[in-house]
């Protein structure tokens, strides 16, 4: 450590030299005591700077004495701090040096034996707490919380209460279903309480889903209408003929009731449309032309019913004769005696044909096989290509084809045996 002693100071006014010197020394000592230790730990550069100040401030010292002091201070700085020696018996684990065994210690660091054994012998035992449940309980919970009564759903329930404007049905939900009186059936319900006694089971259709109280609105009327549309659509596809009672008329035609639905018969679809009003309160046979539940459109036809009656006498593969009524870009319409059939261009000949009129013309008599009977659409399909013995024979010699039509039809009828069954 370097201690600096100032030997000469400038005299101050009103103070003697001796007192000034003592006061300077005391102030210097106080400053040294207040400085932290690390400030006194001077490095080489600081030592050099301090030496310059000493040289300038201590002019009375000789150059040799100053060099000697500087060298002593430098050696002191270069010396390492002395370590406190601790007896071997008093040393702790932290004080003792670590000795590393490369073979054993390295392997133990990679995978300690204790951890290795714990991993190999580890078993996980799951405990069941109050919040656990198995798959069956999970599915049951879903079923319990599943909303009952989605719109359009059919539900069976039991009548539990009757009101003046409706009734309540137990459908198994949190709240009963409500059915307004106007939804209890088709038409005016006079015997409301007799029709729905308490405890009776009924089938209803949900027309409005749950409200804030969990109640749904149900209807017997909507369910009856849905089933009616399903039945009408099935009858239409099968091409069946039904009997209806005419219950009204307007300027366009007649009205009737079909399975609880309102049907309409246009005047153009009546056998005698000029006196259609005379058919009121009478029963006639009709067939369906259009069935559309979305638009609630139900159109029927008396003429189609007559046509379907004639179709019933036809079979697939049957040879018939008719007159060409009209030539269209897609084929010929042939009159078959009260109804017409379509001879499509794809079924005329197996040869190459440039123009339809080079085969048949309007008013010409043709013979053809029946290849399609569509009762729903009221359409008959015809075929003359099956009568050819070679492709294009009808274009070359159609008279010969028609002369041998009966014999050739017998050969072709085997193709329709499975279709007729």
| pLDDT value at 259 more than 50 | yes
Q: What is the pLDDT at residue 231?
A: 93
Q: What is the pLDDT at residue 104?
A: 58
46: Cβ contacts below 8 Å, ≥ 6 apart: none
* 300 and 247 part of one domain: yes
* 320 and 399 part of one domain: yes
Confidence of residue 35 (pLDDT cuts 50, 70, 90): very low
Per the prediction, the chain carries an average pLDDT of: 76
Range of the domain at 267: 240-307
Q: Structurally, how many domains does the chain consist of?
A: 4
Per residue in 329-358, pLDDT (tens digit) is 899 999 988 788 999 999 999 988 888 888
Asked whether residue 351 is domain-assigned, the answer is yes
CA 253 to each of CA 230, 247, 269, 373: distance values in angstroms, whole numbers, following the listed order: 25, 11, 9, 29
* 321 and 302 part of one domain: no
* Residues 104-125 as b or e (16 or more Cβ within 10 Å = b): eeeeeeeeeeeeeeeeeeeeee
Per residue in 55-86, pLDDT (tens digit) is 555 544 455 555 555 555 555 555 544 455 55
Choose the final residue of a domain: 282, 307, 332: 307
Asked whether residue 3 is domain-assigned, the answer is no
- DSSP string over 142-170: HHHHSPS--TT-EEEEEEEEE-SSEEEEE
| pLDDT value at 34 more than 70 | no
* 303 and 329 part of one domain: no
* 415 and 322 part of one domain: yes
Which of 70-74, 185-189, 279-283 is modeled with the greatest confidence? 279-283
* 167 and 202 part of one domain: yes
Do residues 304 and 348 lie in contact, with contact meaning Cβ atoms separated by under 8 Å?
no
* Residue position matching structure tokens 């539990």: 160
Q: What is the pLDDT at residue 24?
A: 47
| pLDDT value at 421 more than 60 | no
**What is the C-alpha to C-alpha distance for residues 209 and 150, in angstroms, rounded to an integer?**
6
Asked whether residue 95 is domain-assigned, the answer is no
Q: Which helix (H) or strand (E) holds 263?
A: strand 261-266
């Amino acid at each position: 450590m370097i201690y600096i002693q100032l030997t000469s100071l400038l005299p101050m006014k009103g103070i003697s030299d001796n007192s000034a010197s003592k006061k300077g020394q005391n102030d210097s000592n106080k400053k040294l005591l207040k400085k932290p230790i690390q400030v006194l730990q001077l490095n080489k550069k600081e030592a050099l700077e301090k030496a310059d100040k000493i040289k300038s401030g201590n002019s009375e010292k000789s150059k040799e004495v100053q060099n000697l002091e500087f060298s002593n201070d430098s050696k002191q700085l270069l010396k390492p701090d002395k370590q406190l020696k601790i007896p071997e018996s008093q040393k702790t684990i932290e004080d003792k040096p670590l000795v590393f065994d490369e073979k054993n210690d390295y392997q133990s660091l990679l995978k300690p034996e204790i951890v290795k054994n714990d991993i190999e012998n580890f078993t996980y035992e799951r405990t069941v707490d109050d919040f656990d449940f198995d798959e069956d309980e999970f599915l049951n919970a879903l079923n319990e919380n599943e909303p009952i009564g989605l719109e359009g759903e059919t539900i069976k329930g039991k009548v539990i209460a009757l009101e003046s404007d409706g009734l309540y049905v137990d459908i198994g939900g949190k709240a009963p279903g409500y059915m307004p009186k106007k939804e209890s059936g088709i038409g005016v319900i006079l015997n409301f309480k007799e029709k729905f006694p308490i405890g009776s089971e009924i089938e209803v259709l949900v027309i409005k889903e749950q409200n804030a109280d969990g109640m749904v609105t149900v209807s017997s009327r909507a369910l009856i209408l849905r089933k009616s549309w399903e039945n009408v659509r099935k009858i239409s596809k099968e091409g069946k003929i039904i009997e209806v009672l005419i219950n009204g008329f307007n300027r366009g035609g007649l009205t009737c009731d079909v399975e609880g639905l309102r049907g309409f018969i246009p005047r153009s679809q009546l056998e005698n449309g000029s006196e259609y009003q005379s058919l009121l309160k009478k029963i006639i046979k009709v067939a369906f032309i259009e069935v559309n539940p979305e638009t609630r459109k139900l159109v029927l036809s008396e003429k189609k019913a007559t046509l379907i009656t004639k179709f019933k006498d036809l079979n697939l593969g049957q040879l018939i004769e008719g007159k060409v009524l009209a030539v269209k870009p897609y084929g010929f319409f042939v009159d078959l005696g009260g109804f017409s059939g379509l001879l499509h261009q794809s079924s005329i000949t197996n040869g190459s044909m440039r123009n339809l009129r080079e085969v048949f013309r309007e008013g010409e008599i043709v013979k053809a096989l029946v290849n399609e009977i569509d009762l729903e659409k009221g359409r008959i399909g015809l075929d003359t290509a099956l009568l050819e013995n070679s492709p294009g024979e009808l274009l070359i010699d159609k008279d010969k084809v028609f002369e041998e039509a009966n014999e050739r039809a017998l050969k072709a009828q085997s193709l329709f045996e499975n279709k007729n069954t």
